Amino acid sequence: MTSQRPDRSSLNGAVDAALAAVHARQAVTDGVRFVDGALHVGGAAYDLTGYENVVLVGAGKAVIPMAAALSEMFGERLAAGVVIAPKEKAAGASVERVRVLPGDHPVPGDASFDSTGELIEFVRGYANERTFLLAALTGGASALMSAPIGGLERDRKSAIVDALVRSGAPIDAINAVRRALSLVKGGELARLAAPARVVTLAVSDVPGNRPEDIGSGPTVLHADLESELDAALDAHPRLIDVLTSEEWDVVRRTLRERGEERDDEDGAMPPPEDFHILADNAAAVRAAANALEAQGAGVLVMDTPFVGSVEEVAARLGAVWRLWSEQHAGAPAALVAGGESTVAIESEHGQGGRSHELALRLAMELGEGEWAAACVGTDGDDGNSGAMGAFAGPDTIRRAAAANLDADHILAAHDTARFFRDLGDQIPTRETGTNVMDLVVIVGAAPA
């Protein structure tokens, strides 16, 4: 009995199906309707006939197709809009009635700060009870929509976010610090818009779909930001080092003042039911699984998004795959999972991303056998790798050794892009129109 290498076409088909299902434009088309002067979304209906202006603000890697779909849907009823997209996507982008401004990702810089300043002024100009404001958020909004609190210089804000991104801490802890440092996050954008009616439409890029973590929650009330920050620092004490003691004093003073202001406000924040998630990682995972089932594979779907270090995630996925493939010995099998692993980067590093690292660690974890895997970032860019992700299989480590590529050294240097590029196993980057965390597909071929 000889081994049969799984066909990569099934992996590509599953990834394509997943991305199509959660494209931001498609999410708006499927989940939002504007009929007879009313907005229908998520089972809710909003009568807009009493509002003088309908306006749009937003940010994210996939906010341009989202804004375009909304502009087409509302037509002339949309008075104006401002959205912030990565500067390489914003360049030359055109959306009717909406200004597309450039921002930086994953670390905010002058482009993000300047564009967010313009967005804030736009919101203030429509902060009245005659305005219905739509907020469109997708993954990447935290860096793109960024304005540091008073007393924190721009370059320090950039350095702090860079340290947060490198820390390896989970996204909820990182966002707790981001909210504390921001003039727009943690509900502050909605406060700037008050008393306008604010309704949020989101493509989720966070485990658990917590509204407060999508773009760090610019339209979501936090009852006690200081307590949330303390809890994050207690759980992840290494985050304390991202600020000096003097900067922490500024942050805490700002949070206390913000809390006192909110105590004096009544009904200024949008209710939770006005936050609508149009697409998420679970939808991508389901679509990939459906594509594989249509090919006759026995598919196991991991319903809970994976989180934790890339090493832990690889070990967990490897263990599940071994059990599942054993149950389907002699028949095609597949495993589909999604989530967001973390990578702690202590020093200077090469090119790579968490999906590249996960692919290499899966190759080391699973070894020989009849399997193949695709690990991708659904936004089309995995870290600074210049690619969407990577393929791995039972011959990955053997072929690497023949090419004088040491897997342990590559992982220590976080240089996995070079590893898979040299093997010809990178998955090319492309415009996906979405960002719903990462996707992993593993397939196995029946023995010949």
pLDDT tens track for 376-393: 999 999 999 999 999 999
pLDDT one-digit tens code per residue, 160-182: 888 887 787 888 888 888 888 88
Q: What is the predicted pLDDT for the residue at 154?
A: 85
Q: What is the DSSP letter of 139?
A: T
With CA atoms as reference, report the closest residue to 128 among 71, 193, 190, 80: 193
pLDDT one-digit tens code per residue, 127-143: 999 999 999 999 999 99
Instruction: Please report whether residue 393 resides in a domain.
Output: yes
Residues 6 or more apart from 159 whose CB is under 8 A from it?
none
The Cα 257–Cα 277 span in angstroms is 31
Instruction: Please report whether residue 3 resides in a domain.
Output: no
Residues 356 and 270 in one domain: no
With CA atoms as reference, report the closest residue to 108 among 137, 67, 144, 56: 144
Lowest-pLDDT range of 22-36, 46-60, 111-125, 143-157: 143-157
Average pLDDT over residues 75-92: 97
**Burial grade of 429 (CB within 10 A; 0-12, 13-18, 19 or more):** middle
Q: What is the predicted pLDDT for the residue at 308?
A: 94
Instruction: Please report whether residue 427 resides in a domain.
Output: yes
In this model, does residue 5 exceed pLDDT 60?
Answer: no
Lowest-pLDDT range of 5-14, 22-31, 253-262: 253-262
CB 110 within 8 A of CB 175: no
pLDDT one-digit tens code per residue, 277-331: 999 999 999 999 999 999 999 999 999 999 999 999 999 999 999 999 999 887 8
Instruction: Please report whether residue 1 resides in a domain.
Output: no
Domain boundary among 279, 310, 326: 279
The Cα 166–Cα 238 span in angstroms is 11
* Residue-number span of the structural domain to which 59 is assigned: 23-279
In this model, does residue 266 exceed pLDDT 60?
Answer: no
* Triad 142, 145, 151: Cα angle to 5°: 95
Q: What is the predicted pLDDT for the residue at 403?
A: 96
Q: What is the predicted pLDDT for the residue at 160?
A: 85
Q: What is the predicted pLDDT for the residue at 409?
A: 94
Q: What is the predicted pLDDT for the residue at 241?
A: 86
Q: What is the predicted pLDDT for the residue at 6?
A: 66
Going by their DSSP bridges, the two strands 275-279 and 298-301 should be labelled as: unpaired
With CA atoms as reference, report the closest residue to 15 among 316, 438, 445, 313: 438
In this model, does residue 78 exceed pLDDT 70?
Answer: yes
Q: What is the predicted pLDDT for the residue at 111?
A: 97
- Cα 329 to Cα 1, 237, 298, 332: the distances in Å are 13, 46, 11, 8
Instruction: Please report whether residue 90 resides in a domain.
Output: yes
pLDDT one-digit tens code per residue, 11-49: 999 999 999 999 999 999 999 999 999 999 999 999 999
The Cα 143–Cα 355 span in angstroms is 20
Instruction: Please report whether residue 439 resides in a domain.
Output: yes
Instruction: Please report whether residue 2 resides in a domain.
Output: no
Domain boundary among 252, 279, 306: 279
| Greater pLDDT, 224 or 186 | 186
Residues 157 and 274 in one domain: yes
Q: Render 22-49 in DSSP notation, one character per residue.
A: T-HHHHHHHHEEEETTEEEETTEEEE-T
Residue 222, both tokens: 């936090």
Residues 320 and 419 in one domain: yes
Residues 247 and 298 in one domain: no
448 pLDDT tier (thresholds 50, 70, 90): very low
In this model, does residue 2 exceed pLDDT 50?
Answer: no
Q: Render 166-230 in DSSP notation, one character per residue.
A: HT---HHHHHHHHHHTBSSTTTHHHHHHTTSEEEEEEE--SGGG-GGGGGG-TTS--S-HHHHHH
Q: What is the predicted pLDDT for the residue at 268?
A: 59
In whole numbers, what is the pLDDT of the chain averaged over residues?
Answer: 92
Residues 341 and 436 in one domain: yes
- Structurally, how many domains does the chain consist of? 2
Residues 210 and 349 in one domain: no
Pick from 76-80, 345-349, 409-413 the range whose average pLDDT is largest.
76-80
Domain boundary among 262, 279, 296: 279
